[in-house]
């Protein structure tokens, strides 16, 4: 049985072929792109479960591609970087990457990182299928039945992860939800990475909700702890 589709994005064509061959041996169906625009087109057409994405790309750098991917897919993203710099890692996680790997790397490490991510499914708890209801604050309404979000009747297009985080905050009814709790809900278990990935998801969620000015309406930061629902 196949492991699912993976998109490998690297402008170094020999390296992209090698990475693809590693993953094909593991049973993945692999496609390859060599620049930002073609990577985004391939991701929209194929909807891969995992994207292995180089940080340095022609046309559009990997960080920008990662941000755009997060606008329409919850695929796991493993960022490849040639530099072991903290700011590159932070930029990757903030853009929405799930993990990063510094070049040069071994085939066994690449495969292990991919499998580690895929063992942590995005469960998006709490389970909306059990509790079908409308949740809201102010003009914002989240329907767990239709899996839609509206603000004053206008649709808001969220990824499944963003929807799950918003549902978690609304169900907490003003209580604080820690970053660790959000990560557990996103990944389905203990997360080994950097909790800055939560802040990145929150930033994108706020942008889509139009909640970027102070004071916030829908998602409030509890400094050093996590987030809670705003007053609306």
Task: Return the domain boundaries, the chain.
Answer: 4-118, 134-229
Q: How far apart are CA 40 and CA 47, in angstroms?
A: 10
Indicate the helix (H) or strand (E) that contains 36: helix 36-46
Contact 163, 124 (CB under 8 A): yes
Q: How far apart are CA 84 and CA 95, in angstroms?
A: 17
Calculate the alpha carbon distances from 125 to 27, 92, 160, 161, 201 in Å: 29, 25, 11, 10, 16
Q: How far apart are CA 124 and CA 91, in angstroms?
A: 24
Calculate the alpha carbon distances from 218 to 13, 29, 146, 164, 207 in Å: 45, 40, 21, 15, 11
Q: How far apart are CA 220 and CA 189, in angstroms?
A: 24
- Per-residue pLDDT at 88: 77
Location of structure tokens 């940080």: 55
- Per-residue pLDDT at 182: 84
- Of the candidate ranges 19-28, 84-93, 111-120, 209-218, the one whose mean pLDDT is the lowest: 84-93
Q: How far apart are CA 102 and CA 92, in angstroms?
A: 12
The pTM assigned to this predicted structure is: 0.62
Task: Report residue 120's pLDDT band, with 50, 70 and 90 as the boundaries.
Answer: low
> How is residue 22 written in tokens?
């590693």
> How is residue 154 written in tokens?
């206008």
Please return the burial class of 31, using the count of CB atoms within 10 Å of its CB with bins 0-12, 13-18 and 19+. Answer: middle
- Per-residue pLDDT at 195: 65
- Of the candidate ranges 123-137, 145-159, 175-189, the one whose mean pLDDT is the lowest: 123-137
Top-tier CATH class for 134-229: mainly alpha
> How is residue 173 written in tokens?
């009814």
- Per-residue pLDDT at 189: 43
**Span 36-43, average pLDDT:** 93
Under CATH, domain 4-118 is a member of which superfamily? Response regulator (3.40.50.2300)
């Amino acid at each position: 049985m196949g492991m699912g589709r993976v998109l490998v994005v690297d402008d170094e064509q020999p390296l992209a072929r090698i990475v693809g061959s590693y993953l094909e041996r593991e049973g993945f169906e692999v496609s390859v792109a060599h620049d930002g625009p073609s990577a985004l087109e391939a991701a929209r057409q194929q909807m891969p479960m995992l994207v292995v994405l180089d940080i340095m790309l022609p046309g559009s750098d990997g960080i920008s591609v990662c941000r755009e991917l997060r606008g329409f897919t919850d695929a796991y993203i493993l960022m490849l970087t040639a530099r072991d710099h903290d700011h590159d890692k932070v930029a990757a996680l903030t853009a929405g990457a799930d993990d990063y790997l510094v070049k040069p790397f071994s085939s066994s490490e690449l495969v292990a990182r991919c499998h580690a991510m895929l063992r942590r499914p995005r469960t998006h708890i709490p389970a909306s299928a059990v509790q079908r209801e409308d949740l809201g604050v102010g003009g914002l309404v989240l329907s767990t039945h239709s899996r839609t979000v509206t603000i004053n009747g206008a649709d808001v297009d969220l990824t499944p992860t963003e929807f799950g985080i918003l549902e978690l905050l609304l169900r907490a009814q003003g209580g604080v939800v820690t970053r660790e709790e959000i990560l557990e809900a996103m990944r389905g278990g203990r997360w080994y990475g950097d909790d800055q990935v939560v802040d990145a998801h929150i930033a994108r969620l706020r942008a889509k909700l139009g909640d970027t000015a102070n004071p916030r309406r829908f998602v409030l930061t509890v400094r050093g702890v996590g987030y809670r629902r705003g007053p609306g």
